[in-house]
Amino acid sequence: MANYVGLDLGSAQARILEAEGSARKLKILRFKKLDLKPPDEARGSYLLDKEAGSQIDKAFAEGKFSREPAALSWDSALTVFREMDLPFSGEEQIRKVIKYEAESHLLNCDIDDVVVSFYRLTQERDKSHLMVMAARKDQLLNRFEVLGRAGIDPLQVDLDVMAAFNALSALGYAAEHKAFMLLDCGRRNTNVLLVSGGRLVLGRAIRLGSDSISARLAGDLEADPKELAGRTPALLQQPGADQDDLVVPVASALREEKEETAKAPAELAHDLALARADDFFNKMSREVRRTLSTTRLPENIEVIYTTGPGSMLPGFAEGVAAKLGVNVPLQPLKLLERVGHDFDEEAAAAAEPEILTALGLAFKLAGHDQSGVDFRQEECRYARKFDQVKEPLIYFCFFLMCLVLLQNLLDARDLWVKKPFFVREQKSDMYQLHKWAKEQQVKAVGLQNAALPESYAAPSLKSLNYIKMKLTQRADELKGELGRGGAIPELTSVLPLWREAFEKIQTKMGGIGRLVLDDVTIAIRKQREPYIELNGSVLTASALDDLKEALGEMQGIARVDPGKSTTFDDHVVFTGLRVVYPERENF
């Protein structure tokens, strides 16, 4: 069974998922998440270093992941989005002109420095409304170089937003709701997806993630961001007696507040964490409302799904719902309830918020592709084209070899069974041919009474086959020279039919008188009812009756069709007078 590897590679984290099966029934085999950069370094650069390649290679080896076929996600935060209209709807037409049409919309980058792809938002008869996406080539090539050190060459590169929509569509979420929204809150960015009528109508990346809470809280507490990043969820929960060792607050503001309120350090850190989380929810809700204000949905949003590591923060759903102020339920996305896996309860809970994009990439490789987006173009195109068909070609060749071998075995069995008959037949043919040749030789020299010796030795089968081949060739040449080659049927003559009709007319010429025939048609080939048709004129109507009577006396006819006649002052014109024969193959 084919395996598919989805690699959700960001600037700070990588998520690797391997699945098997088909687009209709996919099963997750293994999943792994690894941090490529610490939180404080992750915001420095969007390029990955060589060390990231070694980390990915080690993760693939330890997790026993396949390295091909693989698909890579592209970070929406590194992508330029534009919307535009084109005056045609053909897929190939759009692909030919999309890069040149997008150049006037991409003012902050050189068109030769980016790879452009598109997604059709709406389509009319002669118009397409597109979402255009542009990714920098140097950043793409940086990812390919890093993955190349791990022995991975992704077959396709899809946008993370599109990969997420692909998973939602494959698992039936798009068909269940008329319209819904997804908040995929990551460490650094939050992806917002709006789906209506089974189609993605908006995708946006908000540069705001759960790490912003930890970063601001680390500044408030003058703590190490690396150490605080993993403790933020615990700080957001109600502190207990055993949580005083979670942080060591040293900020002067915290010390002053402690003196005034006499709160424990854990309680003060909890209050600060809640304040920073409230700021985060305010910013998140403001960006979501701004996104909704720019889009007109034909249907009202029925539900808002949440996923991503940020959605696991305590109070995330309640905080976002309160700030948004919408009367729509917020629900966590339950992907593992709709796809096969062998994870235990703890592993499933850890993987659930992380696998959406990587799962969508696996579905894309399995054949379920709802977007058609692929950044492997131009300098970034996939060079190992043969690898795309290598595995199916191997299976096909093996199957074909088995068929040929089976056919050869059946032919050999039949030949073995029929071998005695062939030998007897061949010996008999050789003897008869040689006997006839000897008799002709005897006749040629005048020895009419000579007999074929009993001890006569027949020539070899090879010589007889050669003689037979030469005789056949000469016979074909003579047929060609005499014009008798091929199966050319003899043409049937119509003269006997006309002679019989003419003789019958002659017997009635006394009553017919002057007869003028303008047209005589005799149709006997490829006709259901062969016929002789006459068109002409006679002097009187009685003469025409005599003509019909004469034709009716012909042998072997079916009937006489009178046709039409027109009477003039001095003559009668008749057309379509037919003598009809019964259906038969030849005359």
Q: From CA 78, how far away is CA 9, in angstroms rounded?
A: 12
Examine the domain organization and report whether 430 and 472 are in the same domain. yes
Instruction: Give the CATH number of the domain where residue 64 resides.
Output: 3.30.420.380
pLDDT band at 249 (very low <50, low <70, confident <90, very high): very low
Segment (H or E) for 431: helix 386-444
Strand, coil or helix: 423: helix
Q: From CA 209, how far away is CA 378, in angstroms rounded?
A: 33
Task: State the greatest distance between any 2 C-alpha atoms of the chain, in Å, as a whole number.
Answer: 149
Tell me whether residue 560 is in a domain: yes
In this predicted structure, what is the pLDDT of residue 255?
46
Tell me whether residue 391 is in a domain: no
- Looking at the structure of the chain, the number of domains it has is 3
Tell me whether residue 394 is in a domain: no
Domain final position from 458, 482, 506: 482
Examine the domain organization and report whether 567 and 430 are in the same domain. no
- Helix 316-324 with 265-293: angle, nearest 10 deg: 50
pLDDT band at 478 (very low <50, low <70, confident <90, very high): confident
Examine the domain organization and report whether 439 and 350 are in the same domain. no
In this predicted structure, what is the pLDDT of residue 6?
93
Question: What percent of the chain shows pLDDT beyond 70?
Answer: 79
* CA-closest candidate to residue 157, choices 137, 171, 174: 137
Examine the domain organization and report whether 503 and 465 are in the same domain. no
The CA distances from residue 505 to 524, 550, 552, 576, in Å, are 20, 6, 10, 17
CB neighbourhood size of 186 (10 A): 27
Examine the domain organization and report whether 477 and 506 are in the same domain. no
Examine the domain organization and report whether 456 and 501 are in the same domain. no
Q: Is the pLDDT of residue 36 over 90?
A: no
Tell me the pLDDT tens digit for each residue of 193-213: 999 888 888 888 888 888 888
First to last CA, the chain: 69
- Both tokens of residue 246? 């979670």
Examine the domain organization and report whether 432 and 376 are in the same domain. no
Tell me whether residue 164 is in a domain: yes
Examine the domain organization and report whether 531 and 553 are in the same domain. yes
Examine the domain organization and report whether 509 and 566 are in the same domain. yes
Tell me the pLDDT tens digit for each residue of 534-559: 999 999 989 888 888 888 888 888 88
Q: Is the pLDDT of residue 570 over 60?
A: yes
Residue whose pair of structure tokens reads 């017919």 in the numeric block = 512
Tell me whether residue 353 is in a domain: yes
- Both tokens of residue 533? 């048709």
* CA-closest candidate to residue 86, choices 117, 133, 126: 126
Q: Is the pLDDT of residue 367 over 70?
A: yes
In this predicted structure, what is the pLDDT of residue 360?
93
Tell me whether residue 182 is in a domain: no
What global pTM score does this model have? Answer: 0.62
Examine the domain organization and report whether 111 and 26 are in the same domain. yes
Tell me whether residue 192 is in a domain: no
Collect all residues with Cβ–Cβ distance below 8 Å to 200 and sequence separation of at least 6: 119, 121, 161, 162, 165, 193, 194, 370, 371
Domain final position from 426, 459, 482: 482
| β-strand partners of 204 | 192
**Rounded mean pLDDT of 48-52?**
86
Strand, coil or helix: 335: coil
Instruction: Give the CATH number of the domain where residue 540 resides.
Output: 3.30.1360
Are 358 and 73 in contact, with CB atoms under 8 Å apart?
yes
Examine the domain organization and report whether 478 and 499 are in the same domain. no
Tell me whether residue 570 is in a domain: yes
Examine the domain organization and report whether 462 and 539 are in the same domain. no
Are 5 and 17 in contact, with CB atoms under 8 Å apart?
yes
CA 172 to chain CA mean position, Å: 20
* CA-closest candidate to residue 183, choices 157, 201, 203: 203
Domain final position from 422, 451, 482: 482
Tell me the pLDDT tens digit for each residue of 302-326: 899 999 888 888 888 888 888 887 7
Boundaries of domain holding 464: 413-482
**Residue 583 half-sphere exposure toward CB, CA atoms < 13 A:** 4
In this predicted structure, what is the pLDDT of residue 219?
76
Q: Is the pLDDT of residue 383 over 70?
A: no
